Chains A and B, each alone.
Chain A
Amino acid sequence: MGIRTLVAMLVTALVVIGALATQESYKVFMPGLLQGAVLTIEIAILGSLLAIVMGVLAALARMYGPAPLRWLATVYVEIFRGTSALVQLFWLFFVLPQFGVTLNAFLVAVLALGLNVGAYGSEVVRGAIQSVPRGQWEACTALNMSRPQMLRRIILPQAFVAMIPPWGNLFIELLKSTALVSLITLSDLAFKAQQMNQNTFKTIPIFTLVLLMYLAMSLVVTIGMRLLERRASLGLARGKAA
């Protein structure tokens, strides 16, 4: 879908939220829902940062690490991709305390979502690094660059562009997964919706607003990643021409 359509959808979503918020039956829910949305955004941002760190580390460990590190990274990726996010969230929340490690719910949420998406992200990073043409590696070797040097200066800047669209999808997945944290007592957007629904039974206004808010947040991420992609590939094209 083109970036113009996406922007149009975002504007429409925001206008509809704004228009609904002026109505009495919707207005009462706005402060609570916005409060929840802030927590959702916090978890999504911190989770994404952790996912990026884990994705890059796991990918580099699997590709260039010594054998034990490589196995560790593989086990991490397989476990977090092979079980569902909710299972991981519950495991960290309910089981970890039995081993004497008690984390607060917020930390569990960021850890579970970040580690989960990071495992998928490591495959993205690996794929992107491998998609850099062989000639680039050979040229680096010919120029007698060390491995960290070639990764940092030649390979990763090129792989970065290929990574942007799949990472965009993963960020959306992570944002949507934050709704799961409502099930471990965090009062995010989904939790607020559930709570207000149980107290007031005004199901339609509450869930309509919540869906629109999630839509708006996802669209912001999608549009942001599109713009980033455009900028990053512009830089690459210039580099090639010169």
Chain B
Amino acid sequence: MIWDWAFAFEILPVLASAAIVSIEATLIGFALAASLGLVLAVVRIAVPWTGWTISVLVELIRSTPLLIQIFFLYFVFPKFGVVLDAFTAGVLAIGIHYAAYCSEVYRAGFDNIHRGQWEASVALNLSAWTTFRDIIIPQAIPPIVPALGNYLVALFKETPLLSAIAVLELMQTAKIIGSETFRYTEPMTLVGLFFLAMSLVSAALIRSLEGLLNRRTMR
């Protein structure tokens, strides 16, 4: 028989606990990407001479495969005396990779702020810090939340790459089950269905969030 329900139910708890690792990696990775991306975008505006350097850096990160970047952090850092365990190295690589994408999203958000807002802040003698915190960021962030959400989903779908450095997440667990039992159909299909379900749910969430934000900003 091609599909064995009993076997599928047997491995479900194991996969479920591995899914938690995948979700953890996603959340930590995205927190890193969102904050580092914001820092990159803000530094670019606050310190103009860094603009070129940051562009090149972003282009470098976006032009090379995430898998190689994960290997790089995992294998090359120990040569400099920084030994990271697989989960940390993997999440760090994912976070930095997506920070490059997020910084471009933030940049688009900042570019959409009307010039007058900056000028008014200068006229009111607000410090750069206050301008960013109280004037620019509250206006720039809501419109880009859906774009950031899309990257959250994309990042989630990249977490199986962590299996390449043997992090016990969903994909790696499915592979181990497969190699122990010689049955790949059930674990691989369940992993696929899990990703499909999560992506569809998050896509629906992002769409409703988008509607909500549009209503709030279109006063």
Contacts and interface: CB of A to CB of B under 8 A. Distances in A.
A95 B190 CA distance: 12
B50 interface: no
A194 B63 contact: no
A222 to B, nearest CB: 8
Q: Of residues B2, B67, B76, B184, which shows the largest number of chain A Cβ atoms within 10 Å of its Cβ?
A: B67
A83 B192 contact: yes
Contacts of B65: 176-179, 190, 214
B141 to A, nearest CB: 24
Top 6 A-B residue pairs of the complex, sorted by shortest distance between their CB atoms: A218-B63, A84-B157, A179-B65, A94-B184, A82-B199, A176-B65
Interface of A: 1, 5-6, 9, 78-79, 81-88, 90-91, 94-95, 98-99, 172, 176-180, 182-183, 190, 193-194, 197, 203-204, 207, 210-211, 214-215, 218-219, 222
Nearest to B175: A90
15 contacts: A5-B56, A6-B59, A83-B192, A90-B175, A94-B178, A95-B185, A95-B189, A99-B2, A176-B64, A190-B71, A203-B76, A207-B68, A211-B64, A214-B63, A222-B63
B152 interface: no
Contacts of B60: 215
A203 B79 contact: yes
B160 A91 contact: no
Interface residues of B, number: 40
B7 interface: no
Interface in B186-201: 188-189, 191-192, 195-196, 199-200
Nearest to B52: A5
Contact of A86 (B63, B171, B183): B171
A91 B192 contact: yes
B68 A179 contact: yes
B160 A211 contact: no
Contacts of B199: 81-83
B169 to A, nearest CB: 11
A204 B178 CA distance: 34
Nearest to B63: A218
Interface in B152-205: 157-161, 163-164, 171, 174-175, 178, 183-185, 188-189, 191-192, 195-196, 199-200
A210 to B, nearest CB: 6
